[in-house]
Structure 1
Amino acid sequence: MEQAAEDFGTGDLKKLLLRQAVPASVGILFLTVNMLIDTILVGRWIGSIAIAALTVVTPIIFLMASVGFAIGVGGSSVLSRALGAKNIEKAKKSVAHQIVMTSVLTILLMLAGLLFTDWMLKLFGAQGDIVSPAKTFFYPVLLAGPLQALGAMGNSIMRAEDKARYAMIGMITPSVMNLVFDVAFIKFMDMGVFGAALATSLSFLMGFLYLLWYFIYKSDIKLEFRHFLPDWKLTGEIGALSFTTLARQSVISALSVLLNHQLFEHGGETSVTVYGIVSKMLMFALFPVNGIMQGFQSIAGFNFGAEKYGRVKEIVKISVWSASILAIVVYTLILIFAEPIAKLFIDDAQVIAQTPNALRWVFAASPVIAIQLIGSTYFQAEGKAVKSLLLTLTKQGFFLIPLILILPDKFGIFGIWVAFPIADVLATLVTGSFLFFAMKKLSDGKL
């Protein structure tokens, strides 16, 4: 931990960001490539209706994983600032509390999923022929959900410890194993949708076992029983910052519910399948931008805790420019290769006909989203839970959901696709304004 303190507080910021962002980006790349290939294999080996089923179930499981991810992100803000202030005891207690909070909350969500399966699947858009395969996929993945959540939580702790390479391996391991299990269970054992679910569940287990190994043998944070004793003030601090990320993920899940229903109403099962492909590309294509965002938070949080505000301003500037350039590259590639991307997933003519246009519109505002992402992450790193929460909700909650409700009635399916770039631009304007004034306050010494 001392080496991390020395590097985060005094090292060259561009090199630090590169050292943090590259492993994070590679990890996200493997994770999203796994999702893409998983969708391709399911589409080609099982059928388009199976992609629709995964599209319905994914946001439910994503919500459970989001609890671990949210607690990890919120907790790593506390952890990074504690390390920057050299408060090692608080750093250890924050890790212990993250483990307990993630375990308890995700087990409760798992039990809720088992009790209210039919209602939950219907809520998230399971209709017609989608219901049966969705239920088949749901149960095994739900039972393994807490393991995935703990893996997501641990990943943020690794980055806060300046162990970005271990975090990268923690993301790669379940991704690779999922593909191995996919081939075994779907292709060779012909287990269909259940095989896909079993492969996903076992990959969650592999990720959890890696996390366990890391904490026992590689982590600098050695926990004792006293660190797990309830500290309600610390729990509240972690919870407030975690709620920002959890609220965003919850709104994304709510958006998925709305989208699945609107897509089914205006375009049937074909349009649900199209969005299944688009949503996977949203996770995949922006992996370098998300890698910069994750690397940025640990560095900004540490320097804010160490009261090195000049370095905080500099890392904000570097991160925004770097992420913007990468986002422009991503959008250019989407424009050029939209049709080959659609054909890669499936050979259904109707889906292939609709997907390229959807991809181009959904990604249309990608060049400006770096300000939005880095801006909301900055306030979380600084420990400003309320501002971070509000800015995090601007795109999906304040703009995209209302647009999805309004535009399809006037423009049909096109109204759904064009809602995405409009929401991105509006959210960027709002977040950019907040970030500008925050940087001005840092320059003036008014925190």
Structure 2
Amino acid sequence: MSDKYTFLTQAPVHRVIGVMAIPTIISMLLTSMYNLVDTFFVGKINTQSTAAVGIVFSVMFFIQAFSFFFGNGSGNYISRQLGAQNTKDAEVMASTGLFYTLVFSLIVMLLGWFFLEPISILLGSTPTILPYTRQYLGISLLGTPFIMGTFCINNQMRFQGFTKYSVYGAISGSIINCLLDPVFIFGFSMGVSGAAVASVIGQICGFVILLIMSQKEGVIHYTHRRISFEGRFVKEIIAGGTPSISRQGLASVSTIALNSVAGNYGDAAIAAMSIVTRISMFIFSVIVGLGQGFQPMCGFCYGAKLYDRVKEGFWFSTKIGTFFLLFWSVVLIIFSGEVVSLFRDDPEVIAIGIQALRYQMIIFPACSFMMMANMMMQTCRKTIRANILAASRQGLFFIPLIFVLPYFYGLFGVEICQPVSDIISLIVTIPIVWSAFKEMR
């Protein structure tokens, strides 16, 4: 751990972020990949199945939100304590965070089964989509403890600086899911249920592999003897984790609202917006991975009061992310039709998807700056500002806009909702970053 401290606080910034970010980028890409693979294979069944997967995606957002709440909340604290060389509290927080994660996951799973049909309707299922949503959601809930446990351990390892170990579970689970999708969907003729079964098996395998990785030398080990019920640990999880709830949780709510409003324009609109969301999230997962690579260095250096190094890491990550998003924005604007048609060969779905994808790509490059700002605030425990930034893009502005814009502009309002929200979020982010940098002197 002393070698890890020296590396994160003294090695060249570009080298640290490269070493930390490459594994997390791979992890995020593969995690998003299995969402794309589900959409791709299910899209071969019918439009209703494609829409159902998009509708249940909001539940997965909700589950991931609380996974990151516990994982990032405990992980941020762990990195700061290791940076301050307080190993004992870091060890207690690791086991405590995982324990709370697993307890909460069981509650979510049981509530989901009990209210399966009302939840499916609430998420935006039309009468023709509802049977497919019930099938996919009912089976997917089985994987809740495993996917939440995986994300918690993954984030805690990442904040310790062991990003290579942290990605093994995500990589293995995603690969297994991708391989099993066509087997269960078409080979066993299970349809949309097969996609859910493949996901659950992948999640179980990923969780088991991460538990094995947690026993490696240097990594904080999990044990029931270190579980603490002290209020200060709960307080730290809440302070460090609420921005993840704001970011991921409100993204879940915004997806529900998007499906509900898009449903007014038919099943094709829901399917098209689901495809566009998956595509943009797949590209954006690289930025999330880059930001996650920045966070361990940010936490260690902030704990060690190396503020200039925090700023240098922030701007380096922002520039790399902006160039990456700019490249893919140009590609997706030019080839939007070909990309959307890969997932559903339906003229109406393609027509809606092309417009929505092009509009989103216009402001997409600015999202790198917003994501790095959000992660820096969260890691440095600037809770209020972190929550504002986390909530802005897909919650604070998106949710009211998804009801207001379609009221005046119809389907066009649905298609432009995300880019309009991104522009407003960028305006809010700039002064918040400026104020945080003023404090780091």
Deviation per CA, 1:249-280: give whole Å up to 9, x if none. Answer: 22111111111110011x11000000110111
Matching residue of 1:38: 38
Matching residue of 2:232: 233
Q: Shift in Å at residue 122 of structure 1? A: 0.9
Aligned pairs (5 A) from 1:260-279: 260-265=259-264, 267-279=265-277
TM-score by length of 1: 0.96
Residues 1:401 and 2:364 aligned together: no
Residues 1:306 and 2:304 aligned together: yes
Aligned pairs (5 A) from 1:61-210: 61-210=60-209
Tell me, what secondary structure is at the counterpart of 1:363? helix
Q: Structure 2 vs 1, CA of residues 260 and 7 (structure 1 numbering), >3 Å: closer, same or farther? A: same
Matching residue of 1:391: 389
Residues 1:293 and 2:291 aligned together: yes
Tell me, what secondary structure is at the counterpart of 2:129? helix
Q: Shift in Å at residue 219 of structure 1? A: 5.4
Matching residue of 1:337: 335
Matching residue of 1:58: 57
Matching residue of 1:317: 315
Aligned pairs (5 A) from 1:411-422: 411-422=409-420
Counterpart-to-counterpart distance in 1, 2:217 and 2:415: 45
Q: Is the 8 A contact 1:65 1:146 kept in 2?
A: no
Matching residue of 1:245: 244
Q: Shift in Å at residue 224 of structure 1? A: 4.2
Q: Structure 2 vs 1, CA of residues 397 and 224 (structure 1 numbering), >3 Å: closer, same or farther? A: closer
Tell me, what secondary structure is at the counterpart of 1:417? helix
Deviation per CA, 1:90-119: give whole Å up to 9, x if none. Answer: 110110111011111111111111111111
Letter of the aligned partner of 1:194 in structure 2?
A: S
Counterpart-to-counterpart distance in 1, 2:392 and 2:40: 32
Q: Structure 2 vs 1, CA of residues 218 and 55 (structure 1 numbering), >3 Å: closer, same or farther? A: farther
Deviation per CA, 1:283-336: give whole Å up to 9, x if none. Answer: 111232112111111111110001111111111121121111111112111112
Matching residue of 2:256: 257
Matching residue within 302, 325, 328 for 1:327: 325
Q: Shift in Å at residue 396 of structure 1? A: 2.2
Counterpart-to-counterpart distance in 2, 1:227 and 1:186: 43
Matching residue of 1:24: 24
Counterpart-to-counterpart distance in 1, 2:366 and 2:146: 35
Counterpart-to-counterpart distance in 1, 2:284 and 2:222: 35
Counterpart-to-counterpart distance in 1, 2:233 and 2:171: 31
Q: Is the 8 A contact 1:259 1:404 kept in 2?
A: yes
Letter of the aligned partner of 1:137 in structure 2?
A: Y
Counterpart-to-counterpart distance in 2, 1:358 and 1:218: 48
TM-score by length of 2: 0.97
Matching residue of 2:10: 10
Tell me, what secondary structure is at the counterpart of 1:108? helix
Deviating above 4 A after TM superposition, structure 1's stretches of 4 or more consecutive aligned residues are: none
Deviation per CA, 1:361-383: give whole Å up to 9, x if none. Answer: 12221121122111111111101
Matching residue of 1:360: 358
Report the more deviating stretch, 286-295 or 269-278: 286-295
Letter of the aligned partner of 1:275 in structure 2?
A: M
Counterpart-to-counterpart distance in 1, 2:24 and 2:262: 33
Counterpart-to-counterpart distance in 2, 1:249 and 1:90: 27
Q: Is the 8 A contact 1:313 1:439 kept in 2?
A: yes
% same residue: 28
Counterpart-to-counterpart distance in 1, 2:259 and 2:252: 11
Q: Is the 8 A contact 2:81 2:90 kept in 1?
A: yes
Q: Shift in Å at residue 218 of structure 1? A: 5.0
Counterpart-to-counterpart distance in 2, 1:273 and 1:261: 12
Letter of the aligned partner of 1:182 in structure 2?
A: D
Letter of the aligned partner of 1:24 in structure 2?
A: T
Tell me, what secondary structure is at the counterpart of 1:365? helix
Q: Is the 8 A contact 2:253 2:395 kept in 1?
A: no
Counterpart-to-counterpart distance in 2, 1:332 and 1:75: 38
Letter of the aligned partner of 1:337 in structure 2?
A: F
Matching residue of 1:49: 48
**Could you say what the CA RMSD is over the residues aligned between the two structures, in angstroms?**
1.4
Counterpart-to-counterpart distance in 2, 1:417 and 1:433: 28
Counterpart-to-counterpart distance in 2, 1:272 and 1:309: 45
Q: Is the 8 A contact 2:325 2:365 kept in 1?
A: yes
Counterpart-to-counterpart distance in 2, 1:108 and 1:37: 28
Q: Structure 2 vs 1, CA of residues 96 and 43 (structure 1 numbering), >3 Å: closer, same or farther? A: same
Q: Is the 8 A contact 2:168 2:206 kept in 1?
A: no
Q: Shift in Å at residue 167 of structure 1? A: 2.1
Tell me, what secondary structure is at the counterpart of 2:362? coil
Counterpart-to-counterpart distance in 2, 1:279 and 1:167: 26
Q: Please list every run of 5 or more consecutive structure 1 residues that lacks an aligned counterpart in the other structure.
A: none
